[in-house]
Amino acid sequence: MENAKLMIEKIDMQKIPKHVAIIMDGNGRWAKRKGLPRIAGHWAGAEALRDIVSTCSKLNIQALSVFAFSSENWKRPAQEVNSIMNLLLYYLKKEVDTLHKNNIKIMMSGDWHELPYRIVAQIKKSIRQTQNNSGLILNIVLNYGARREIILACKKMCRDVLEGKLNIEEIDQFAFEEFLYTRDLPDPDLLIRPSGELRISNFLLWQIAYTELWFTEVYWPDFKSEDLLQAVYDYQKRERRYGGLKK
């Protein structure tokens, strides 16, 4: 906590990223290192998320997107997948009142409608309860793959062209983005990946074209406020040129 206080003094509150995205990685390896079952790492990761959501809210970050479950994660053992689903249900039920009280709005990206009914019902309830909140948007990216998102967006756009709703000459970057899950969010300014892995893992591929990337060896369950603040501090020292020249 003391380190977090020292770090926040270094942060320029006028240069806070609007949208931070996090690949919550390393839960299983964290658990294995401690001699625990993998699901224990996922539960510890949920605790880490609570701390990071609170810190993002205090920093007045507009949106936090967290990669909770990818469409490729279905390849994992059924017991682990079921445990993750139960954890998600528990997290939403337990945290939604606190999130609502703190003016945080819940949003979902991905094919979450395909999840078990009890999960979908709780997601809809959580979205409905927080839909009018004006603070941090917590975008939980669930049952998601970026390539699939882009393909689905192309299909929807082609359908609109065939039905005469969209002129093919009007298609540009901005028209295409209206068909993405994140159409109501700005592109991420900062993408954080814990656990030492140096890859994107099919996460928001379109949206992170000019996003600043930040990697750390820390496993997600050990990721604290001071780590987030360090990432924001490092982000603020970078110059974003978007393909242009240094001013």
Active-site amino acid positions: 25, 73
How far is 27 from 96, CA to CA, in rounded Å?
23
Question: What are the φ and ψ backbone dihedral angles of 65, each rounded to 5 degrees?
Answer: -105, 125
Judge contact between 217 and 195, C-beta under 8 A. Answer: yes
Token match 């003016």: residue?
Answer: 103
Q: Which two tokens stand for residue 116?
A: 């078990």
Q: Which residue, chain included where needed, has tokens 């979902």?
A: 108
CB 63 within 8 A of CB 139: yes
The count of other CB atoms within 10 Å of the CB of residue 238 is: 10
Of the candidates 156, 174, 173, the residue with the CA atom closest to the CA atom of residue 165: 156
226 alpha-carbon distance from chain centroid: 18
